[in-house]
A and B are shown apart, each in its own frame.
Chain A
Amino acid sequence: MAKFTFTLNGAPAAVDVDPSTPLLWVLRDNLGLTGTKFGCGAALCGACTVHVNGEAVRSCAYTIDSVQSAKVTTIEGLSKDGTSKLQRAWIAHQVPQCGYCQPGFIMAAAALLAKKPKPTEADVEGSITNICRCGTYARIKQAIARAAR
């Protein structure tokens, strides 16, 4: 076990866990933030996407020892009440079906828009590589385009 401190959604956070613990389980089990989901466990599907120092990372394969002193943002920290421009666009296009993968998609899209406020279609296709088994991709593209307007 070891102590780790970092900034979580703008507030200080501290945990005492095994250094090899994936960030995903620290967020969910130790800190109770269950908006970030477990999908494949192998960084293939993106359901666990969060931001570490502004970069979208797949937290199931990102150990806590890489997070020491970092700035972590989860879906809970994207806005206080779920009304960020991106989340409003998501609602306007009625994107989710089962919804399980959607926090990961929104975090991946938020990281993209933070870097490229007006992404091209190629930018979106190149950076949103998450998997949605309900197949909501067409609406995800529309929602990102709307948020970028």
Chain B
Amino acid sequence: MAFADCFGSYLCQIVELSMIDAAVKLHRVVSVCDPGRVLDRVNATSMIEGGVMWGLSTALYSAVRFRNGHTQERNFDGYRVATLPDTPELITDFLENRVKLGGLGEVGPVCVPAALVNALFAATGKRHRRLPLAREGVFTVYGKLYS
């Protein structure tokens, strides 16, 4: 689990996972966000769901490296992102307590990496301090197939 006060909204996320042959199987990501007021529930839910996938991408795979002022990653072969096979069940809900309206576009990914490594610690007893996890030798069940 992880919590943040970001972009004017509160966000709490829980990642549920298990280890299968030393690979991560993601089961569920629960997100609860308080942006003050939800104007369009379907849109708001989609924003958070998409954000969770950005958070998972950052935590698991994606990194941009620079050399001589150029990015080394030129396309999706070097810059991997989380895709459909890595998508867990996504549960998203909202609270409407904050006084001012907060953001929803950028909020979704924020707690995912922290919640994920906290869940990994709960499952394995090992703390991970560097991302992306694939560079640290931690793969999802799907990621391991294609590592």
Contact = CB atoms under 8 A, between A and B. Distances in A.
Interface size class of B (residues with CB under 8 A): 20 to 34
B77 interface: yes
B49 interface: yes
A120 interface: no
Contact of A135 (B42, B52, B77): B52
B110 to A, nearest CB: 14
B76 interface: yes
A139 B49 contact: yes
Contact of A134 (B50, B87, B142): B50
A31 interface: no
B49 A135 contact: yes
Interface residues of A, number: 24
A131 B83 contact: yes
Contact of B142 (A124, A125, A128, A139): A125
A130 B83 CA distance: 7
Given A94-B42, A134-B50, A40 B83 contact: no
Nearest to A41: B75
A121 to B, nearest CB: 10
B72 interface: no
Query: For the complex, would chain B's binding face be called helix, strand, loop or mixed by DSSP majority?
Result: helix
Contacts of A135: 49-54, 82
Given A44-B76, A44-B77, A125-B142, A136 B50 contact: yes
A125 B25 CA distance: 14
Given A124-B84, A137-B84, A131 B50 contact: no
A128 B47 CA distance: 22
B38 interface: no
A146 to B, nearest CB: 16
Interface in A91-123: 94, 97
A85 to B, nearest CB: 20
Interface string B75-102: 1110001111101011000000000000
B62 to A, nearest CB: 11
Nearest to A108: B84
Contacts of B83: 129-132, 137
Contacts of B47: 97
A88 interface: no
20 contacts: A40-B75, A40-B76, A44-B76, A45-B76, A94-B42, A128-B84, A129-B83, A129-B85, A133-B81, A135-B50, A135-B51, A135-B52, A135-B53, A135-B82, A136-B49, A137-B84, A137-B87, A138-B49, A139-B49, A141-B87
